[in-house]
């Protein structure tokens, strides 16, 4: 019965996507209970070396990280946090954060826990299923698990990836976190907003050592 529900949801999502007006695949995050905080514009990437292109950190403004924490803040550190690693250049942090963000927001995540679903969709619907990728996966995952669960899974994947790269995690107050982070529960953020946030996250991850206590994984 569950497989029939998933299949029906997938077919419906394909029909809705194909018939949708241009630009639907770039839908942004729906409101999640708090006002969205506009992020500063992303800096254009410049060639730092022959291997990669990174933004100029001198053109970025370090987000505010100092605050007086309360028990309410501490209770939400599983959601609101940032990363830092000693002796790390901005270019290294930028590359690591971009990679971990891609892994945490990839097609396997948007398609839910069953990685085999991607292959099955390709086999049944051909290139169309692969082309619309995360948009279809979002509909299926949200129908089965809900956007809150998808946000939770993204956070866990991001934490695991950054911990593997030996970054440490530090808690942050919600409003300060909103200034350079984002959540994804109903669709992928627009690339300009995503890039602006990732640049600031890299600036923080490679910046001065945090004054607050380190959190666990």
Tens-place pLDDT, residues 53-71: 888 999 999 999 999 999 9
Tens-place pLDDT, residues 141-185: 555 556 777 888 888 999 999 999 999 999 999 999 999 998 876
- Assess if residue 165 is contained within a domain: yes
- Assess if residue 43 is contained within a domain: no
CB 127 within 8 A of CB 185: no
> Which residues are CB-contacts of 77 (< 8 A; sequence separation ≥ 6)?
171, 172, 215
> Which residues are CB-contacts of 63 (< 8 A; sequence separation ≥ 6)?
176, 179, 180, 200, 203, 204
Domains: count for the chain:
1
Give the helix/strand (H/E) hosting 83: strand 81-84
- Is it the case that residue 136 has pLDDT exceeding 60? no
Most confident listed range (23-37, 105-119, 143-157, 175-189): 175-189
- Assess if residue 116 is contained within a domain: yes
- Is it the case that residue 126 has pLDDT exceeding 70? no
Closest C-alpha among 90, 106, 212, 80 to residue 159: 80
- Assess if residue 148 is contained within a domain: yes
Point out which residues pair with 81 in neighbouring strands: 171
Q: How many residues does the chain have?
A: 217
- Assess if residue 198 is contained within a domain: yes
- Is it the case that residue 97 has pLDDT exceeding 80? yes
- Assess if residue 52 is contained within a domain: no
- Assess if residue 27 is contained within a domain: no
- Phi, psi angles (nearest 5°) of residue 35: -65, 140
Q: Which token pair is 105?
A: 């927001």
- Please tell me whether residue 84 adopts helix, strand or coil conformation: strand
Q: Which token pair is 132?
A: 């619309």
- Assess if residue 51 is contained within a domain: no
Domain containing residue 93: 2-20+57-215
């Amino acid at each position: 019965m569950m497989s029939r529900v998933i299949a029906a949801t997938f077919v419906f999502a394909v029909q809705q996507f194909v018939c949708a007006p241009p630009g639907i695949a770039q839908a942004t995050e729906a409101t999640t209970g708090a006002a969205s905080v506009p992020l500063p514009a992303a800096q254009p990437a410049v060639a730092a070396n022959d291997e990669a292109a990174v933004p100029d950190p001198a053109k970025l403004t370090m987000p505010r990280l100092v605050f007086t924490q309360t028990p309410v803040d501490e209770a939400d550190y599983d959601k609101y946090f940032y990363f830092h690693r000693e002796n790390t250049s901005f270019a290294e942090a930028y590359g690591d954060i971009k990679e971990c963000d891609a892994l945490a927001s990839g097609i396997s995540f948007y398609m839910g826990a069953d990685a085999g679903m991607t292959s099955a969709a390709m086999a049944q619907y051909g290139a169309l299923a692969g082309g619309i990728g995360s948009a279809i996966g979002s509909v299926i995952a949200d129908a089965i698990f809900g956007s809150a669960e998808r946000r939770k899974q993204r956070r866990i994947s991001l934490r695991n990836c950054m911990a593997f790269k030996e970054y440490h995690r530090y808690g942050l107050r919600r409003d300060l976190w909103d200034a350079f982070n984002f959540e994804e529960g109903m669709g992928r953020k627009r690339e300009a907003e995503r890039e602006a946030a990732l640049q600031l996250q890299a600036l923080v991850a490679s910046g001065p050592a945090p004054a607050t206590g380190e959190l666990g994984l």
